[in-house]
Structure 1
Amino acid sequence: MFKDFTDPNRAEQDGWRGYVVDQGWAGFNAEEHETWDILYQRQTKLLEGRIVSPFFDGLAALGLGEGGIPELMGLNRRLHPLTGWRCVAVAGLVPDAAFFAMLAQRVFPIGNFIRSRAQLDYLEEPDCFHDIYGHVPMLAHRGLADAMARFAAEGCRAIAAGRGDAVARLYWHTVEFGLAREEGELRILGAGLASSFGEAAKSLEDPGIERRRFTVEAAAATPYRHDAMQPLYLVADSLDEAVEALATAAL
């Protein structure tokens, strides 16, 4: 029988003290659901031919375009049988140690709010559109889903040993803002780009942006901006290369 992993009472027993909250899905109003639909429709159109192909497989498998903000219990009923991952609601950013502990247990935190209409093009703090639309379709991809859990477990050990910067940078330059080649074409990989109308096309097409070849060593050593569009992206030779890097990284 499927368990309700969205229950905030599980937070204590799973060790994520105080971070898991109720999604409050019934409290989203019509305008907020409409905001999701606007974001979904225009972003999906924008990403055609610009993102690694498993992303669209995930969108379809999870039914994210069926209208309105997804309710996490229903989303988990589709996601969990595919790769063992599930989503829980949080009220905002989760500290790195707790965040990677969640990922190591195949739990992904989802903000329990959505941006305003004035923030359609860019939002610094991740909302439920970034978290669900940007991240969850690729969690339906078995290779990346397994690699994420493996990387997170390694990340927990590295953070405990004082190497948190390397963990955050490798995650940022792959899962959040990574690029990858697919059939010879440059494609979006990271969720931060997948969910950003303002940055998605720019990351691929702006000639003034620096793009360097991805390696684990380069990613772990390269700082990033969390408060502005990126001036630099790392490009993996393929999605498989990025997956392998996450699965085998020793930090």
Structure 2
Amino acid sequence: MPVNDPVIAEQTPAADFTIEQKWDRYTGEEHAIWTTLYERQMKVLAGRAVPEFFKGLDLLNLNEGGIPDFRRVNEKLEKLTGWTVITVPGLIPEKEFYEHLANRRFVSGRFIRDGEKLDYLPEPDIFHDVFGHVPLLTQPIFADYMAAYGRGGLRSIGFDAIKHMARLYWYTVEFGLINTPEGRRIYGAGIVSSRAESIFSLEARSPNRIHFDLERIMRTDYRYDDFQQSYFVVDSFQELMDATYQDFAPIYDRLPGMSELKPSDTLAGDKIYSEGTQEYAQAGGLLAKAEAL
């Protein structure tokens, strides 16, 4: 839990880990940080984010008066796809996270990052959660995918396969790329909410860009503390939906007998759009820069 947010500290979470957003308690400085992040990110995302992302932003008007009031957002979002945004104090257990998604409730933190460290934060904040994730929840196909993922996540608990489902979420919902008629675009929230990774994911020669493969992704570890060494690309959100609407049990049965893959690995059977040099990771990546902030 962020120690610098007294509004979180004063609340006792409900049994499902939710708290009240208490929008009226945000300061003018916090609203200004949201506006700064929003405006600079919109400049970077032009020509880089998937068109559906911008449609979602327009439908929800997420820069109206600084940090969005979830009560207003939910009036629009629920009418569009049945989703709502709820507030939690920080990271929550997998079971409750999956239950919320399965019931079309997207969990968001309340706090916003420090204005002096706009590009580095140790855990997701409200800008990542809402700006990054919520616009695509206005689109029926992606909204359905997220709910299906939540149901699949709950089922994975019985197979001791949470790790594999986390990888699927990471390489799609958080760091996914998509092919469009206009070229490759970003849809993953971890990218669209990051100025630097929005450029790195599409234009740097360092990372691999590999076509989406469900089983291959479930074998692949990821970087949680830096830019990704591999990005996976879908042809459409329908491809994601089709991959999700299958019985994962046979995959779970096969995975223990298969080797784990490093984030930088490529395989002979991969459809590779660009094989990266990995020069960024080999040079030490972001950690040395973060320590200097």
**Paired residues, what number?**
239
Higher RCO structure (Cα 8 Å, ≥6 apart): 1
Question: For residues 58-137 of structure 1, what are the structure 2 equivalents within 5 Å?
Answer: 58-137=56-135
| Identical-residue share of aligned pairs (%) | 44
The one-letter amino acid of 1:121's match is D
Residue number in structure 2 paired with 1:5: none
Q: 1:201 to 1:193 in 2, by over 3 A?
A: same
Q: What is the alpha-carbon distance in structure 1 between the residues aligned to residue 217 and residue 101 of structure 2?
A: 20
What secondary structure, in the 3-state scheme, does the structure 2 residue paired with 1:199 have?
A: helix
Check whether the contact 2:128–2:193 (CA below 8 A) recurs between aligned residues: yes
1:99-142 deviations in whole A, cap 9, x for unaligned? 11110010011101000112212323000000000000000000
Q: Which runs of 4+ in 1 moved over 3 A?
A: 8-12, 246-249
Residue 229 of structure 1, aligned match among 227, 230, 233: 227
Q: What is the alpha-carbon distance in structure 2 between the residues aligned to residue 11 and residue 141 of structure 1?
A: 29
Structure (1 or 2) with the larger CA radius of gyration = 2
1:11-41 deviations in whole A, cap 9, x for unaligned? 44xxx2xx10111211111010000000111
The one-letter amino acid of 1:160's match is G
Unaligned runs of 5+ in 1: 1-7
Residue number in structure 2 paired with 1:53: 51
Q: 1:70 to 1:184 in 2, by over 3 A?
A: closer
Q: 1:227 to 1:10 in 2, by over 3 A?
A: closer
Check whether the contact 1:151–1:248 (CA below 8 A) recurs between aligned residues: no
Q: What is the alpha-carbon distance in structure 1 between the residues aligned to residue 80 and residue 43 of structure 2?
A: 25
Q: What is the alpha-carbon distance in structure 2 between the residues aligned to residue 135 and residue 61 of structure 1?
A: 14
Unaligned runs of 5+ in 2: 1-10, 250-293
Residue number in structure 2 paired with 1:153: 151
What is the TM-score when the length of structure 2 is the normalising length?
0.78
The one-letter amino acid of 1:116's match is D
The one-letter amino acid of 1:214's match is F
Residue number in structure 2 paired with 1:139: 137
Q: What is the alpha-carbon distance in structure 1 between the residues aligned to residue 161 and residue 92 of structure 2?
A: 18
Q: 1:247 to 1:151 in 2, by over 3 A?
A: farther
Q: 1:9 to 1:92 in 2, by over 3 A?
A: closer
What is the TM-score when the length of structure 1 is the normalising length?
0.90
What secondary structure, in the 3-state scheme, does the structure 1 residue paired with 2:48 have?
A: coil
1:151-179 deviations in whole A, cap 9, x for unaligned? 21011011232110111001111000011
Q: Does 1:214 align with 2:206?
A: no
Check whether the contact 1:51–1:189 (CA below 8 A) recurs between aligned residues: yes
Offset at residue 235 of structure 1 (A): 1.2
Q: What is the alpha-carbon distance in structure 1 between the residues aligned to residue 48 and residue 238 of structure 2?
A: 17
Q: What is the alpha-carbon distance in structure 2 between the residues aligned to residue 10 and residue 125 of structure 1?
A: 19
The one-letter amino acid of 2:239's match is E
Q: Does 1:193 align with 2:202?
A: no
Q: 1:247 to 1:48 in 2, by over 3 A?
A: farther
Residue number in structure 1 paired with 2:240: 242
Residue number in structure 2 paired with 1:178: 176
